[in-house]
Amino acid sequence: MADEEETLPAPEQYFAERPRSRSAPRTLRFLYRGELLTFVLDQGVFSGRALDPGTSLLIENLAVGRADHVLDVGCGWGAVGVAAAKSARDGRVVLTDVNRRAARLAERNLERNGVLNAEVRVGDFFDPVQEETFDLVATNPPYRLGRGHVLRLLSEAPQHLRPGGRLLLVGKGSLGIRYYQDWLAAHWPGTVEVLARGSGYRVLEARRRSA
């Protein structure tokens, strides 16, 4: 069954700290809640030519509160982080990515869109935030690195959520999203919902129970 595959080929440059592909920047614009956002994209990062449909569906379903603290794990060029920061105007957003080219792009895109309540940190998954906690952790996980990496991300997420905090992730059937939905339901019982479906993708929400 396709969504139970454990490992898929991984383009090295997406997940490398320093991608080797030649830089070829391009500009992308899209509307978010009536505001036209502008981004610089590049090769050697995830979805370096366009906004992929999974990330677009995730952005549509962020539901960020005005004062929320948000973490965007694996931020790429910063689409999710910028959108979250626009909604959390009295909160703050941290974007993390192991890919230094992606992190530089995300920093440029925060600046291009006038975002002052967010910062980018370089590092793997939750390493750059250590003991910090958030109201929302959002991610389009690196499925092509293999199941072990995705499960590590899901396993570490609760310790970075405040009581009642939410984990949002997006994925599609061919990359195993139904497997991860079942895993979350087993480890976060009674809190997992499918918030949206589209183009073969689904957005999942899991909540950390309040103490």
Q: Which tens digit of pLDDT belongs to each residue from 168-177?
A: 999 999 999 9
In this prediction, residue 1 carries a pLDDT of 30
Question: The pTM is what?
Answer: 0.92
pLDDT top residue among 45 and 19? 45
In this prediction, residue 13 carries a pLDDT of 54
Provide the residue type at 39 as one letter.
F
Strands (E), the chain: 26-32, 35-41, 69-73, 92-97, 118-122, 134-139, 161-172, 193-198, 201-207
From residue 107, give the alpha-carbon distance in Å to each of 24, 64, 120, 152, 179.
17, 21, 6, 26, 33
As a whole number of Å, the end-to-end CA separation of the chain is 38
In this prediction, residue 81 carries a pLDDT of 98
Q: Where are the domains of the chain?
A: 23-207
**Measured distance CA(10)–CA(139) in Å, rounded:** 18
CATH architecture of 23-207: 3-Layer(aba) Sandwich (3.40)
